[in-house]
Structure 1
Amino acid sequence: MDFQHRTALVTGAAQGIGEAVARALAARGAAVAALDANGERLGAVVADIEASGHRAAAFPVDVADSQAVERAVDRIERELGPIELLVNVAGVLRVSSALSLTDEDWERTFAVNTRGVFNVGRAVARRMVPRRSGSIVTVGSNAARTPRVHMSAYAASKAAAAQWTKCLGLELAQHNIRCNVVSPGSTDTPMQRALWADDRGAEAVIAGNPAAFKLGIPLNRIATAEDVAAAVLFLLSDEARHITMHDLCVDGGATLGA
């Protein structure tokens, strides 16, 4: 998978899966436009990528702000080149029972996880269409296909983002633009660790929790961000040139292929 001389936009690039995707693309030759609302952390990630001899640039942006997204995409195309690869990773998680969710919890979850995918996807796809080339991957969640206790807003927002990405793929297929989804399960990221009660959190995730109707992980390991990034890069690449509107679940079997 060689991405030499290609420009990639990665949202949520300041940490976790987004950071792993940005680093992997840069290591394979792409010029990476890294977007994230956390400008300080984003700057550190980009500086480290550049120190390794690769190309990257930081764009502190809240993907929920459509005007800010449009400005950033315009700047990326001017400064780094036409965007050929897009990875939507930016996301937030508000944990609460369905009846205890606040209006703000619901609205912010959808603002980032769903509207953010729409804002960035629309802005980039509009520029890809005249060039008749491009590959888009949205990082969703296996929670989009399997109900989770206390994750209703997150699961619903990810399901909406996944379906929007597939519909986009159907409309853009005639323009030689592919759109796919990667749905991770539990992955060792700051978002996941925030759910752990102690340093044995990974063991609990692997074992599962019958009281929460949650199976364990048959492969007996928790995913790394790099595991998910590898799946993303495959779907972005020409190796997957005949794959579109696909949802690739990367969860070690946790949802039994559901």
Structure 2
Amino acid sequence: MSYTGIDGNVAVVTGAAQGIGEAVARLLAQYGAIVALVDQQEAALSQLVSELRSQGHQAVACVADVSDRQAVEDTVQQIEENVGPIGILVNAAGVLHAGTVSELKDEEWMRTFDVNTHGVFYMSRAVVRNMSKRQTGAVVTVGSNAASVPRMHMSAYAASKAASTMFTKCLALEYANQHIRCNIVSPGSTDTPMQRALWQEEDGAEAVIAGSLKTYRLGIPLNRMALPSDIADAVIFLISDQARHITMHNLCVDGGATLGV
């Protein structure tokens, strides 16, 4: 399918150095967006930008920590001044600290919210402030199906994603009359470095697909693990003109793992 409304737009993608953020960045570039890629991983980010440029795409690297309010403000201002008016924002930066509630460290809880929730707030606020002056824009936050279904040993992650999901819906409501659409894509288990870090055995993917009665976790009815490109496809749709009448929506892309909840 050919999506419209992306070509020529400046698109900011956080967490762009790997995983879902990288897949989104690549797809946006293929559709003609001028991509401004934000991440802390300088080497990986530079490599991606070099690769995209070698393919004829327009891309810039912006090394920044989304949990740092001032860094976010400075980065957004630099993009607006040096790259162009931001028309698209994808909040894909995220961290996951697994563990039981009793074992979860204060700093792990705080860091999870700093990136997954505060980072979404800082970046969205800075970007939408400029979008509102132009009366147009599209924001997609990458959430998680864990925001709607409890997960054992993932309390910080699930809570932080639930917060950023509701924040994005509130953002959408506040800016709807300024023609700014804000939506959420909520992946289930996806084959990313973050997901693989959770696997304790070589058959990690098979275990996720099968599910676990012990942890009250349903498997994946479609019997496959999502690829980052599966999530990126959903993000691109919600950004495009083909979704021009969709806002405040949470699109779950999890192969049926949460039974449509």
TM-score when normalising by structure 2: 0.98
* Alignment partners' CA distance in 2, 1:99 and 1:40: 36
- Does the alignment pair 1:187 with 2:190? yes
Q: Which residue of 2 aligns with 1:103?
A: 106
User: Could you tell me which amino acid in structure 1 is paired with residue 235 of structure 2?
Assistant: V
**Corresponding residue for residue 89 of structure 2:** 86
Greater shift in the superposed pair: 193-202 or 164-173? 193-202
What is the distance in 2 between the residues matched to 1:80 and 1:4?
Answer: 15
2:50 maps to amino acid: A
Which consecutive unaligned segments of at least 5 residues does structure 1 have? Answer: none
2:27 aligns with one of 24, 29, 50? 24
In the alignment, the residues of structure 1 paired with residue 201 and residue 8 of structure 2 have an alpha-carbon distance, to the nearest angstrom, of: 44
**Distance in 1 between residues matched to 2:90 and 2:7, nearest whole Å:** 17
Cα distance between partner residues in 1 of 2:27 and 2:60: 15
The residue that corresponds to 2:166 in the other structure is 163
| Aligned residue type for 1:56 | A
- TM-superposed deviation, 1:198: 2.6
Match of 2:123 among 120, 123, 128: 120
Q: Deviations over 1:103-147 (max 9, x none)?
A: 101100000000000000000000000100000000000000000
What does the per-residue CA deviation read over 1:78-100, in whole Å, with 9 as the maximum and x for residues that have no partner? 12110000000000000110111
Three-state SS of the structure 2 residue aligned to 1:182 is: strand
- More displaced, 189-198 or 166-175? 189-198
* Correspondent of 2:251 among 234, 245, 248: 248
- Does 2:207 match 1:209? no
What does residue 42 of structure 2 align with?
39
Tell me which of 61, 65, 70 is aligned to 1:62: 65
SS of 1:209's equivalent in the other structure is coil
Task: Tell me by how many angstroms 1:200 deviates.
Answer: 1.3
Identical pairs, percent: 60
Query: Alpha-carbon deviations, 1:165-224, whole Å to 9, x = none?
Result: 000000000100000000000000000001112321111110001101100000000000
Q: Which residue, 135, 142, 146 being the options, matches 2:145?
A: 142
Rounded Cα–Cα distance in structure 2 between residues aligned with 1:27 and 1:177: 23
Root-mean-square deviation over aligned CA pairs: 0.6
Amino acid at match of 2:195: Q
* 1:13 is the counterpart of 2:16: yes
Choose the corresponding residue for 2:176, options 173, 177, 181: 173
**1:211-242 deviation line (CA, Å, top 9, x unaligned):** 01100000000000000000000000000000
- Which residue of structure 2 lines up, in the alignment, with residue 257 of structure 1? 260
Counterpart residue identity of residue 235, structure 1: L
Matched, 1:229 2:235: no
Unaligned stretches of 5+ in structure 2? none
Give me the whole-angstrom Cα distance separating, in 1, the residues matched to 2:206 and 2:83: 43
Structure 1 ranges of 4+ moved more than 4 A: none
What amino acid maps onto 1:157 in structure 2? S
Normalised to the residue count of structure 1, the TM-score between the two structures is 0.99
Alpha-carbon shift at residue 163 of structure 1 (Å):
0.2
**Mean Cα deviation higher: 139-148 or 193-202:** 193-202
Task: Give the count of matched residue pairs.
Answer: 258
Measured after TM superposition, the shift of residue 49 of structure 1 is 1.0
